[in-house]
Amino acid sequence: MPILPPQQRTDPHPDRTGVRQAEAALVEHYPRLVRLAYVVLPPSLGRHRRVLAAHAVVQRALPAAGSRVRVPRVPAQSRRSGAPQGAEPAPEGAGAEQGPSGAAYGWMRLRVLRAALAHERRPRWWPGRLPAPAALRPAVPVVWGLRLFPRAGGVDELALDRALSTVDGAVRAAFALQLLEGLDASGARELLAGAAVADPGDAVRRAARLGRPDRAGARAMLWSGEFDPCTVQTRPSDLLRRRHRVRAVAAAAALCVVAGGLAFAVDAGTRPADDGRGPAGVAAPALDPARLLRTSPDRWADTSRVDFTAWPARGGRTDDNALLGRALRAWAEPPESVRVSTTPGTAAVPPAEPPQLLFADEVDGAAVVLFHDHADRVVRYAEPLSGSGGAALDFARTDDADVTTGAAVVVSRTADAARFLLAPWIAESTTRDLLAPDTPGRPLEVDPDGVTAAVPRPGAGGACDAWPVIQLRSSERIVEKHAFLLTDLGEPAPTHLTYMPKPGRGTPARQPREATGPDALLAWARTACSLRALAGSGVRSVNNWAFAEQKLPEGGASADWVCTRADTWRGPGRVLVQFLAPAASPAAPAAVVADREDTALCSKFGQHVLAATHWRAGSGRWYVLGAGSRAVTGIRATGAVRGAAGGPTLAVRAPRDADVELTGSLSEGGTLTAVH
């Protein structure tokens, strides 16, 4: 009797089998997929929303059991993903080095990538910023009463996150696919093409510039807790608001009963007198002064988040509901009489929820109200106490503010001076002139509510003969002996000034530090007037990096090279490279030899710099001078004149207007051209 092979059983529902494979891949690699989605999603969502969106993107990527999709079955020993049969082919390269293998994982990864990239293509008003079909499903996950944040990293992780915020989603996706998924450039291009990216090659090329020169370090940072939305810290949402919401729900239920009864008693076309919406459709609770959030006075000393959320409500008119109501209504729908200003990159949209009250009082002939909302903005409303002038409404970004960048807000400004409202953790305040580095600071008076005396403003035009700044010191309950400088660049939030000292022989690269020491003050005395070029551009902080010191020909005097980098609240930076030749006055302005916008130069992700300038010696002879940062091991000059030098500096004789190009050699290999 012949022995027949056992009958092969087939699944009568192949679609269901494919969905089960996809589900298995999702469950097995869920943390990896969520991290990928988190990196690709727009940082403008904020950390809490981005965490929830990353989980939602991955969970919604799983098709429904009855969907007409076929995820291919993959043997356990398979090392690369094949192309699935069905409506959505799996990308190649899913099993590349470092990444999980299997076509089911590759297929799910493609769906996650498409959904994450779709966030940037959705209008800002779209529900959840998700693709249309997903937006119609119930929002998952849902978190009530808590705000979620990945574990805070260090300065390097924050710098990487800011660098990622300056590029679009396709570039972030290419960066993540190579560093998180281990794909090469070709594999990343193919996967991006499958995700409907318009120009995958350009995205991969731009991603290659991120994280340089330490790509291994950038990969480690992407795998750190800063970018892990599965390991999060929690803090409560606003407890007072939650209590108000409970009462509001009860009140709304009662109103619904009343409205339902009225609906039967009136004509079908009659509208209710009050639809619960404020101006421009803003929810009424957001415009109710009684629902404004107020922080307890001592919270700043007992929280790990030392920023504007820790500011208490201060001022003599914090209980003036009429004033607060006018400020909120002007914010929601500014009338034509209200002058509105915004720092670059700041949305002037109405509040979605009741904001936090920071200040309300009379200052310099105006009633001033300061709010902080959950979109990380500070909003200033000011109305004159007398006269016919209109009110003013100012918006400023304050996302990721800290002990220094959240230490002060301009509460009143005139043509010649400004008053600041200081954070509750400021223990000492002085003023000083950056152009007088040897002159000690003068005490700055502060009233009990934290409002300073008038501080002279830097001149916007004419002669630059003074540059006033305020020097603040944090309470020892926050950090011991921490003093820092802030300057007024014409916006609600003052700008933090820092300094990086000259490279020391045999010492590792240094980090920015507070600009309060003698060397920092001397460098800022020569470069302070260049801050005029940054006024009104939304600058968060400015760092002076003394990247080279050069002995000049014909006498041996020394000159310094400084890279002045301005970082904005929205991410992009601007760089001014300045040459500090010997001068008789400690405040003699430096010569700006290069100006570059939207660049990572002179930051964690642009650590190497080479610059050049023409310089005239005392004899009347002209030279081309060049200097590079610590990793520059040699400089070569080509063009109208030729020359070379070992080390980070070069000086060659050249006519005054000679066209000379400098190229530097780096200790780690490669070359560097001079910045212009």
Chain-centre distance of CA 157, in angstroms?
Answer: 12
Instruction: Collect all residues with Cβ–Cβ distance below 8 Å to 68 and sequence separation of at least 6.
Output: 15, 86, 87
Is residue 584 in a domain? no
User: Does residue 20 sit in the same domain as residue 119?
Assistant: yes
Helix/strand/coil (H, E, C) string of 370-426? Answer: EEEECCCEEEEEEEECCCCCCCEEEEEECCCCCCCCCCEEEEEECCCEEEEEECCCE
User: Does residue 157 sit in the same domain as residue 257?
Assistant: no
Is residue 347 in a domain? yes
Is residue 362 in a domain? yes
User: Does residue 642 sit in the same domain as residue 665?
Assistant: yes
Give the pLDDT band (50/70/90) at residue 647.
Answer: very high
Q: What is the pLDDT of residues 11-36, one digit of tens each?
A: 444 444 567 777 888 888 889 999 99
Helix/strand/coil (H, E, C) string of 219-232? Answer: HHHHCCHHHCCCCE
Which of 58-67, 127-136, 533-542 comes out lowest in average pLDDT?
127-136
Q: What is each CA distance from 317 to 373, 383, 413, in whole angstroms? A: 19, 13, 19
User: Does residue 25 sit in the same domain as residue 107?
Assistant: yes
User: Does residue 150 sit in the same domain as residue 98?
Assistant: yes
- Contact status, residue 148 vs residue 220, Cβ threshold 8 Å: no
pLDDT, position 135: 38
Instruction: Collect all residues with Cβ–Cβ distance below 8 Å to 433 and sequence separation of at least 6.
Output: 439, 466, 467, 468, 469
The whole-angstrom separation of Cα 620 and Cα 617 is 5
User: Does residue 170 sit in the same domain as residue 104?
Assistant: yes
pLDDT, position 315: 97
Residue 669's φ and ψ, nearest 5 degrees, are: 100, 155
pLDDT, position 137: 41
Is residue 567 in a domain? no
Instruction: Collect all residues with Cβ–Cβ distance below 8 Å to 234 and sequence separation of at least 6.
Output: 146, 147, 148, 149
The whole-angstrom separation of Cα 438 and Cα 360 is 38
Q: Tokens representing 276?
A: 């619960």
Is residue 97 in a domain? yes
Q: What is each CA distance from 324 to 72, 359, 361, 669, in whole angstroms? A: 61, 10, 10, 61
User: Does residue 202 sit in the same domain as residue 303?
Assistant: no
Q: Which of 430, 452, 426 is nearest to 441 (CA)?
A: 430
Q: What is the mean pLDDT of the chain?
A: 81
User: Does residue 258 sit in the same domain as residue 300?
Assistant: no
Is residue 479 in a domain? no
Q: Domain total for the chain?
A: 4
User: Does residue 229 sit in the same domain as residue 242?
Assistant: no
Is residue 585 in a domain? no
| Backbone φ/ψ region at 594: left (φ over 0), alpha (ψ -120 to 50), beta | beta
The whole-angstrom separation of Cα 419 and Cα 298 is 24
Last residue of a domain, one of 344, 373, 401: 401
Average pLDDT over residues 567-592: 93
Last residue of a domain, one of 401, 434, 460: 401
Is residue 433 in a domain? no
Say if residue 213 is preceded by a cis peptide, omega within 30 of 0: yes
User: Does residue 311 sit in the same domain as residue 202?
Assistant: no
Average pLDDT over residues 112-124: 76
Say if residue 141 is preceded by a cis peptide, omega within 30 of 0: yes
The whole-angstrom separation of Cα 148 and Cα 157 is 18
The reported pTM is 0.63
Query: Which residue range(s) make up the domain with 386?
Result: 285-401
- With 0-12 / 13-18 / 19 or more C-beta atoms within 10 angstroms meaning exposed / middle / buried, residue 535 is middle
User: Does residue 78 sit in the same domain as residue 225?
Assistant: yes
User: Does residue 219 sit in the same domain as residue 158?
Assistant: yes
Q: Are strands 339-342 and 392-397 parallel, antiparallel or unpaired?
A: parallel
Would the pLDDT of 360 be above 90?
A: yes
